[in-house]
């Protein structure tokens, strides 16, 4: 078990760091070489496509991981086949929707180029069906190596292409970058397959019984992920819906990109916690879920709090370093949005334990409520305060949903909020003890 947490945690952490470094690195360059309107168009594009892929993950990932971990191996081939069928079907649906609605979305944001980017991404999302399927199967088998390497190839392809264009002083065209995503998806799928092939065996026909089971489970996590992505994207999408603020989307987005630093521990732990939560709930029940939630969020708090303090102190320096002086107005926004990471840790782990304990429906309704609350808060506060109002509105929505989630966790699993902070401070104590022991060994 110890080896599982070390190995899985390492590769999952590397995967999150890889995504963060390449995505943030790409945007840092684009912040400096593109004008704000063009950069804002790219931000809106990435928000929309991220929503699509998060929805795909919601329908397939947790359902596949749960059923592979709670059913005999004799059923695994049928489960994999049903999951692959749903994955390809969903990719076709998303590609069709992109082609059909791209023009309307472009008109909404007064950007014909955005429509073109979405049309190109219709190809990418079809190719990504293989990448995600192979990665989901690996995660279900507690293997995170291929997930890391396929992510490295896919996100690194875009990053190094941008670097190549900059060093050769070539004009950076958003359409070119969208096609780079298409080409990067092919080797990423191949790499994912190489790592997943030992787990990837299919039946020669679809077992509709498993298709129905996967859909029945996944429909709520699908909706939950849609609502989650809406919650996380609404601030920038609502900003963009105000014509006078459209060019400020990239300014606000810079603060969110920096926030992702605080979210790396959260997403890393969530990725490795889910399969263990599903097994623990199946074997031990609610008491195991209570411990896993309190302990995992406690560890997250011990990591996130120092990051929050650091960014509060050096927000101006960080913004100037990553976005240049043209984005100086992002610093006061950052000092508000950095607290998103605090509430995000509680929210993400809430979703993890709810899905793992067989309560995806409750998770769906809570997350949907959060998206609605966030939309209302954002619209009101942006109308009152402008761009920074998005930060105020989202923070208020997060606090309200945090309160509701803690009440539910206490009633269902007996989770005590005070225990979370006990684990957090005990982590500091253990780290200090280890440091003293190390110093003693060094001097002896």
The secondary structure of 276-295 as a DSSP string is: HHHHHHHHH-HHHHHHHHHH
Among the residue ranges 44-53, 167-176, 277-286, 427-436, the one predicted with the least confidence is: 277-286
Question: Which H or E run includes 326?
Answer: none
> Residue 281: is its pLDDT beyond 70?
no
Given pLDDT bands bounded at 50, 70 and 90, which one contains residue 441?
low
Task: Give 379-405 pLDDT, tens digit per residue.
Answer: 999 999 999 999 999 999 999 999 999
Residue 440 has a pLDDT of 64
Q: How many alpha carbons fall within 13 Å on the CB side of residue 111?
A: 25
d(C-alpha 338, C-alpha 260), whole Å: 9
Among candidates 251, 238, 244, 278, which has minimal Cα distance to 359?
278
C-beta neighbour count of 422 within 10 angstroms: 14
Among candidates 339, 341, 298, which has minimal Cα distance to 428?
298
Residue 164 has a pLDDT of 93
306 or 299: which carries more pLDDT confidence? Answer: 306
Residue 2 has a pLDDT of 47
Sign of the dihedral defined by the CA atoms of residues 90, 95, 100, 106, in that order: positive
Q: 0.85 exceeded by the pTM?
A: no
Given pLDDT bands bounded at 50, 70 and 90, which one contains residue 332?
very high
Sequence-ordered list of residues with C-beta below 8 angstroms from that of 168, at least 6 positions apart, any chain: none
Given pLDDT bands bounded at 50, 70 and 90, which one contains residue 158?
very high
Average pLDDT of the residues of the chain:
84
| Nearest-10 Cα torsion for 289, 295, 299, 300 | 30
Q: Cα–Cα distances in Å, from 114 out to 174, 229, 424?
A: 9, 19, 44
| Residue 135 burial class via C-beta count within 10 angstroms: exposed 0-12, middle 13-18, buried 19 and up | buried
Mean pLDDT of 103-111: 90
Among candidates 294, 391, 264, which has minimal Cα distance to 9?
264
Residue 246 has a pLDDT of 84
d(C-alpha 442, C-alpha 444), whole Å: 6
Among the residue ranges 28-42, 48-62, 379-393, 430-444, the one predicted with the least confidence is: 430-444
CA angle 330, 331, 333 (to 5 degrees): 65
Residue 425 has a pLDDT of 84
Sequence-ordered list of residues with C-beta below 8 angstroms from that of 81, at least 6 positions apart, any chain: 202, 203, 205, 206, 207, 210
Among the residue ranges 26-30, 175-179, 416-420, 434-438, the one predicted with the least confidence is: 434-438
d(C-alpha 396, C-alpha 274), whole Å: 28
Mean pLDDT of 53-70: 81
Residue 232 has a pLDDT of 85
φ and ψ at residue 337, rounded to 5 degrees: -70, -20
Residue 286 has a pLDDT of 65
E strands, 192-297, in order: none
CA angle 225, 19, 40 (to 5 degrees): 75
Q: How many alpha carbons fall within 13 Å on the CB side of residue 382?
A: 26
Residue 1 has a pLDDT of 47
> Residue 11: is its pLDDT beyond 60?
yes
Mean pLDDT of 54-76: 81
> Residue 142: is its pLDDT beyond 80?
no
Task: Give 118-140 pLDDT, tens digit per residue.
Answer: 999 999 999 998 898 888 888 77
Residue burial 58-90, b: 16+ Cβ < 10 Å; e: rest:
bbbbbbbbbbbbeeeeeebbbbbbbbbbbbeeb
Q: Specify whether the CB–CB gap between 421 and 362 falls below 8 A.
A: no
Mean pLDDT of 328-343: 92
| Residue 281 burial class via C-beta count within 10 angstroms: exposed 0-12, middle 13-18, buried 19 and up | buried
> Residue 8: is its pLDDT beyond 60?
no
Q: Specify whether the CB–CB gap between 253 and 44 falls below 8 A.
A: no
């Amino acid at each position: 078990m110890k080896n599982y947490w070390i190995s899985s945690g390492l590769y999952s952490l590397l995967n999150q760091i890889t995504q963060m470094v390449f995505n943030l690195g790409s945007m840092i360059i684009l912040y400096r070489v593109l004008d704000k309107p063009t950069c804002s168009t790219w931000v809106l594009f990435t928000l929309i496509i991220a929503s699509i892929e998060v929805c795909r993950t919601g329908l397939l990932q947790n359902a596949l991981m749960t059923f592979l971990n709670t059913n005999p191996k004799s059923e695994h081939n049928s489960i994999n086949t049903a999951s692959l069928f749903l994955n390809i079907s969903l990719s076709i649906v998303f590609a069709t929707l992109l082609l059909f609605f791209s023009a309307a979305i472009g008109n909404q944001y007064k950007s014909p180029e955005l429509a073109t980017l979405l049309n190109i991404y219709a190809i990418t999302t079809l190719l990504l069906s293989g990448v995600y399927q192979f990665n989901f199967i690996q995660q279900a088998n507690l293997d995170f190596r291929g997930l890391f390497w396929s992510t490295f190839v896919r996100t690194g392809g875009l990053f190094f292409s941008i670097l190549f264009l900059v060093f050769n002083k070539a004009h950076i065209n958003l359409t070119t970058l969208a096609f780079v995503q298409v080409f990067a998806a092919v080797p990423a799928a191949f790499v994912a397959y190489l790592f997943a092939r030992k787990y990837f065996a299919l039946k020669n026909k679809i077992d509709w019984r498993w298709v129905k089971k996967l859909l029945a489970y996944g429909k709520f996590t699908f909706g939950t992920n849609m609502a989650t992505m809406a919650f996380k994207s609404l601030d920038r999408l609502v900003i963009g819906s105000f014509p006078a603020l459209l060019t400020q989307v990239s300014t606000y987005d810079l603060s969110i990109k920096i926030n992702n630093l605080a979210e790396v521990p959260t997403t890393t732990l969530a990725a490795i916690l889910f399969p263990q939560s599903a097994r623990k709930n199946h074997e031990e029940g609610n008491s195991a879920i209570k411990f896993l939630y309190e302990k995992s969020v406690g560890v997250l708090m011990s990591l996130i709090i120092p990051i929050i303090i650091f960014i509060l102190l050096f927000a101006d320096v960080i913004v100037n370093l990553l976005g240049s002086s043209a984005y100086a107005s992002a610093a006061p926004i950052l000092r508000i949005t950095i607290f998103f990471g605090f509430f995000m840790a509680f929210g993400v782990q809430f979703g993890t334990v709810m899905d793992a304990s067989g309560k995806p429906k409750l998770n769906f309704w809570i997350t949907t409520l959060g998206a609605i609350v966030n939309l209302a808060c954002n619209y009101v506060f942006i109308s009152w305060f402008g761009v920074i109002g998005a930060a105020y509105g989202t923070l208020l929505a997060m606090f309200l949903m945090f309160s509701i989630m803690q009440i539910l966790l206490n009633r269902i699993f007996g989770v005590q909020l005070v225990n979370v902070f006990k684990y957090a401070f005990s982590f500091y104590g253990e780290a200090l003890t280890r440091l003293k022991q190390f110093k003693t060994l060094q001097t002896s």
